[in-house]
Amino acid sequence: MSEHRLPEPDRPWVMRTYAGHSSARESNELYRRNLEKGQTGLSVAFDLPTQTGYDPDHELARGEVGKVGVSIAHKGDMQTLLGGIPLDQMNTSMTINATAAWLLGLYMAVAEENGVDPGRLQGTTQNDIIKEFLSRGTYAFPPAPSMRLIRDMIAFTVDAVPKWNPINVCSYHLQEAGATPVQEIAYSLSTAQAVLDEVRSRVPEDTFPRVFGRISFFVNAGIRFVEEHAKLRALGELWEQLGRERYGVEDPRYLRLRYGVQVNSLGLTESQPENNVIRIVLEALAVTLGRNARARAIQLPAWNEALGLPRPWDQQWSLRIQQILAYETDLLEYPDIFEGSKVMKGLVEELVEGARAEMAVVAEHGGAVEAVDYMKTQLVESHRARIAAIESGEQKVIGQNAFTSTEPSPLREGEDAGIMTVDPGVERAQIEAVETWRSERDAAAVAAALEELTTAARDDSVNVMPATLAAARAGATTGEWAAALREVFGEYRAPTGVSGAAAAPDGAALAELREKVERVSTALGRRIKILVGKPGLDGHSNGAEQIAVRARDAGMDVVYEGIRLSPARIAQAAVQEGVHVVGLSILSGSHRELIPTVLHQLDEAGANVPVVVGGIIPPADEIALLEAGVARVYTPKDFEISRIMGDVVDLVADRYGVAAEAA
Amino acid sequence: MAVDGATLGRRLRERDTAAAPAALNLIEDRSPAGREQAAALLGEVSPGALGGEAPAHLIGVTGPPGAGKSSLLSALVDLWRGRDRTVAVLAVDPSSKRSGGSLLGDRARIDHDPADDGILIRSTAAGTRLGGLAPPTREATQALAAAFDLVVVETVGVGQSETDVEDVSDTVAVVVQPGSGDTLQFLKAGIMEVPDVLVVTKADQGGTALRARRDLAGALGALGCPETPVLAVSSLPPPTGVEELVEALEAHRSRLDVRAVRLRARRMAALADFTAEHGERALRALGGRRAAEAYLADQDPTLDASALGGRLEQRARSSA
């Protein structure tokens, strides 16, 4: 046997595609086609109402039903979603957090109905609420009860569904929010530690090593793929140490870092989008190259994510990247190819050291839950620095700020302009379907189950999973489950992190912008005031945060309320705050429904202010929005924030009839 | 922009809360034409025009960042609206010194129904003047007091800005969270004035909240103010202590000679504004602070602060 070859090539990782849209039926068809193409696991994308605990007919669900994922309102939907898929053999990953306990309940209820013992189910519920507070925004309850739900799920599954990963601690979304590799490691490990500390007192001591072993991670890999690989090795090293030193885990099976991955979307560009395929391949190498830190499961984004929703063909292309890596290349034939590398060792040491120091800061704040404010501020700051580097050209992005001359891309020439659009009729159909469901079920049984759930939620010493499972079996809806818990737990708004962001370094461009803001403000009589708003349920707030911070640095008064605002609330804020301009950000694809509603509400409220919109907005939609009365539309290709700001000041000057330029 | 300040002022006087946002825009307007219209507006809501002091209860809520002011305000607003009392909240944020810009995010944390026109929340930047309050905050308070039942001025800080809050409030509540010793130290050292009501938040934290409450009550006793109420509240559902807080605020107001307090505040504000605008030298031209105060005491008590400021300027001009 040789030292540089494995006796047998390794088995490939689990290959998934993050997929789901519209209804359970359409998503089920998509899943079955994907499995036929050689996908080996499922990764379910839920729509935002399902993720935040609202039924399709709730006011806040408007425009979001079936958009970024599938709408699952009850066990009937779940049954349809999984139709024809053998649950005892499938490995299903669900990107679900605030409502994770509920979706697991539905999954188990469906398994029971199909005659599958829940004890045999395999898969993952994402269930990392801290990164929802920090980055992704689909939280529903305040921190303490959210942590309790996670704790209850872990304590429940460790025996009832022993092959289930009840939580997938996410560094993925931290990178999407701008985290450096050190921050990614430190914040995700701090999160895991907070969760483990919470669970430790709730399970028997001899069960705890198994609990530790069930914690998995969901990571990101960016374009600096050598350092990114080192990051995963560093994470593995620190994870093992944490297990040994803090929790006394000794069994190597439980100490090994297990992670799944979705590679970076933040760096994917709207300009020359074909280049994204190359980026995705390189990022896939970061998580597969070295055997000692190779991913257990991989899903890759599609080349056109910065343009709109990917089509099945786009996702197939990404699956083929995985299959070529696993089946055509010789990647799986060798032991770890970085063992003995001085460079890799040095990189890992650097990251381990940096992450330890940052974890100590989080610990000083009282741990990950208490440090949400601190971590959020750090992330906003890192993201600000990243954007500044791209704006200045210091960080090169090919096709966007370097080598920008290009031939027209044939990939976007099709009738669909290279993206998928969800049929707006889906929402209507889902609303009717949930109404029918409610009218046909045993109402008394549902009421009793929800009552039981409320009782369990009120008592911190009771595990909410059994009552959740009973409510799932009885036919309760996603919105009903969450409403019962909201009643007991209350609601919450996460910190926006913007007020602590450092001011942008002074530069000529910013100085010029400030002068212009001063000039226009003086002419207006008071400082330019802007409302930055995120309508709908979309929690991806990074863009809105950066706009808010830059507007402040440019000298404006900025009202930023964070995510999840109803159009009525945005209109009210615009009027009461007396703003000169409203900026809206939407990335969930619900702009065609929500933006006109905001415009209408502003009209009703008598606010005659210009509205600008930013987000992933395809050209055809841009035209429609401008026709509906939006003053400006910005998309990912407009990466120079100072230029956007200058444009907004010109718009304000023009609308209020004052001069923008010095006389 | 042709905005008629007098009309806005009259609408406020008729308790038309919908006129408030435009009135606040005008009050913030620093252009000469804006100032002129704002003066007309304020004249319409002066004690003279109102036929007495505005009946609103002016409440200052202040405390360090993270003390839970906004959650507390959510609970208060909820209770007041439940009793059909109209509420205006002025949330004052510190602004960035370098760019002059600011990030105002407090309204998000105050839960309210967007369709309810009995609640107004307005964020405002503290601006560059030293001390805690935005220059137009006092004028805004005066305008809102004509139309709303309650006007709350929320500021960040402990120790420094309370005096400013005091100038625009009938009742000042200082909010602290358990385990933060600063307020206790500031109180003991006399850096901070004794507020009318002290509120300890996060009462759900049990022991620490109790301890904080006891320590503060002890310090107040030692300072000779044992009757100052110290209340514990929890804003988590179900909120506790909020009704007691409302009672304490009302009790303070009912003991107050509102007319005297506000008259004194108007005179102090006129003098402060005059000095900030024209400097100590101009003050000396009036014969010094004491003489200026005596002069103000002779003026019509129903004039608002800006009108009083105008009188001071007139006198300075005639004595020059």
Q: Catalytic amino acids of A?
A: 18, 172-173, 534, 538, 540
Contact across the interface for A527 and B105, Cβ inside 8 Å:
no
Say yes or no to pLDDT of B245 above 90: yes
pLDDT tens digits for range A334-390:
999 999 999 999 999 999 999 999 999 999 999 999 999 999 999 999 999 999 999
B128 confidence band (pLDDT: 50, 70, 90)? low
Give which of A93, A78, A161 is closest to A124, Cα–Cα. Answer: A93
Residues of B (153-182) whose Cβ lies below 8 Å from A: none
Contact across the interface for A552 and B99, Cβ inside 8 Å:
yes
Say yes or no to pLDDT of A485 above 50: yes
Is A548 part of the contact surface with chain B (CB cutoff 8 Å)? yes
First to last CA, chain A: 82
- The per-residue b/e assignment along A341-380, b for 16 or more CB within 10 angstroms, e otherwise, is eeebeebbeebbebbbebbeebeeeebbbebbbbbbbbbb
* B54-256 placed in CATH 3.40.50.300: yes
Chain A CB contacts of B22 below 8 Å: 578
pLDDT of residue B178: 83
The nearest alpha carbon in chain B to A485 belongs to B237
Q: Return the residue matching tokens 């069960």.
A: A207
The nearest alpha carbon in chain B to A549 belongs to B103
**Can you spell out the DSSP letters for A585-604?**
EE-SS-HHHHHHHHHHHHHH
Overall fold of domain A508-655: Rossmann fold (3.40.50)
**Which one has a higher pLDDT value, A458 or B281?**
A458
* Contact criterion met (CB below 8 Å) for A245 and A202: no
Over residues A224-251, the mean pLDDT reads 97
Identify from B96, B104, B109, B124 which residue to disrupt to test chain A contact, counting A C-beta atoms within 10 A and taking the largest count.
B104
* Contact criterion met (CB below 8 Å) for B113 and B73: no
pLDDT of residue B135: 62
| Per-residue tokens: A589 | 């694809």
Strands A168-170 and A164-165: unpaired
CA A577 to chain centre: 31
Say yes or no to pLDDT of A606 above 90: no
User: Measuring CA to CA, how many Å separate B285 from each of B266, B278, B296, B318?
Assistant: 21, 11, 15, 10
Close Cβ partners of A339 (under 8 Å, ≥ 6 residues apart): A292
Find the Cα–Cα–Cα–Cα dihedral A524, A545, A359, A190, rounded to 10°.
Answer: 140
d(CA A250, CA A498): 42
Over residues B240-249, the mean pLDDT reads 95
pLDDT of residue B96: 62
A41 DSSP β-pair partners: none
* Contact criterion met (CB below 8 Å) for A374 and A361: yes
A145 min Cα distance to partner chain B (Å) = 11
pLDDT > 70 fraction of chain B, expressed in percent and rounded = 92
Residues of A (507-546) whose Cβ lies below 8 Å from B: 514, 517-518, 522, 524-527
**Which one has a higher pLDDT value, A498 or A557?**
A557
- Sequence-ordered strand ranges (E) for chain B: 57-63, 87-93, 102-104, 119-125, 150-156, 171-176, 197-200, 230-232
d(CA B273, CA A485): 52
B132 confidence band (pLDDT: 50, 70, 90)? very low
Say yes or no to pLDDT of A561 above 90: no
d(CA A238, CA A223): 23
pLDDT of residue B77: 95
* Contact criterion met (CB below 8 Å) for A362 and A188: no
pLDDT tens digits for range B23-79:
999 999 989 999 999 999 999 999 999 999 999 999 999 888 878 888 899 999 999
**Coil, strand, or helix at residue A179?**
coil
Listed range (A135-149, A378-392, B132-146) with the worst mean pLDDT: B132-146
Contact across the interface for A558 and B101, Cβ inside 8 Å:
yes
pLDDT tens digits for range A101-136:
999 999 999 999 999 999 999 999 999 999 999 998
**Which one has a higher pLDDT value, B218 or A532?**
A532
Residue A536: CB atoms within 10 Å: 31
Residue A414: CB atoms within 10 Å: 11
Q: Which of A548, A555, A575 minimises the CB distance to B99?
A: A555
pLDDT of residue A621: 93
Contact across the interface for B31 and A525, Cβ inside 8 Å:
yes
Is B29 part of the contact surface with chain A (CB cutoff 8 Å)? yes
Residues of B (218-277) whose Cβ lies below 8 Å from A: 236-237
Mean pLDDT of chain A: 94
d(CA A417, CA B265): 66
> φ and ψ at B267, to 5 degrees?
-65, -45
The nearest alpha carbon in chain A to B136 belongs to A526
What one-letter code names the amino acid at A472?
A
* A96-303+310-402 placed in CATH 3.20.20.240: yes
pLDDT tens digits for range A434-457:
999 999 999 999 999 999 999 999
Contact pairs from chain A to chain B, CB under 8 Å = 107
Contact across the interface for A576 and B21, Cβ inside 8 Å:
yes
B162 confidence band (pLDDT: 50, 70, 90)? very low
B112 min Cα distance to partner chain A (Å) = 9
pLDDT of residue A477: 98
**Which one has a higher pLDDT value, A511 or B134?**
A511
d(CA A138, CA A97): 7
Alpha helix (H) residue ranges in A161-202: 172-176, 181-200
- Sequence-ordered strand ranges (E) for B132-196: 150-156, 171-176
- Sign of torsion over alpha carbons A199, A203, A206, A209: negative
Listed range (A621-630, B119-128, B253-262) with the worst mean pLDDT: B119-128
First to last CA, chain B: 36
What one-letter code names the amino acid at A69?
G
d(CA B245, CA B79): 11
Say yes or no to pLDDT of B298 above 90: yes
- Sign of torsion over alpha carbons A285, A286, A292, A295: negative
Chain B CB contacts of A557 below 8 Å: 95, 101-102, 104, 125
pLDDT > 70 fraction of chain A, expressed in percent and rounded = 99
d(CA B28, CA B155): 18
* Contact criterion met (CB below 8 Å) for B179 and B203: no
Chain B CB contacts of A137 below 8 Å: none
Q: Where are the domains of chain A?
A: 96-303+310-402, 508-655
Question: B63: phi > 0 → left, psi -120 to 50 → alpha, else beta; which?
Answer: left
d(CA A380, CA A504): 12
The nearest alpha carbon in chain A to B95 belongs to A557
Q: Which of A493, A558, A576 minimises the CB distance to B102?
A: A558
The nearest alpha carbon in chain A to B114 belongs to A569
B121 min Cα distance to partner chain A (Å) = 7
- Sequence-ordered strand ranges (E) for A469-622: 529-533, 557-560, 581-586, 611-615
Identify from A374, A516, A557 which residue to disrupt to test chain B contact, counting B C-beta atoms within 10 A and taking the largest count.
A557
Contact across the interface for A552 and B102, Cβ inside 8 Å:
yes
pLDDT of residue B131: 43
Say yes or no to pLDDT of B130 above 70: no
A663 confidence band (pLDDT: 50, 70, 90)? low
pLDDT of residue B97: 61
Is A602 part of the contact surface with chain B (CB cutoff 8 Å)? no
Contact across the interface for B125 and A557, Cβ inside 8 Å:
yes
Chain B CB contacts of A569 below 8 Å: 114
Give rounded-to-5 percent helix, strand, coil for chain B.
50, 15, 35
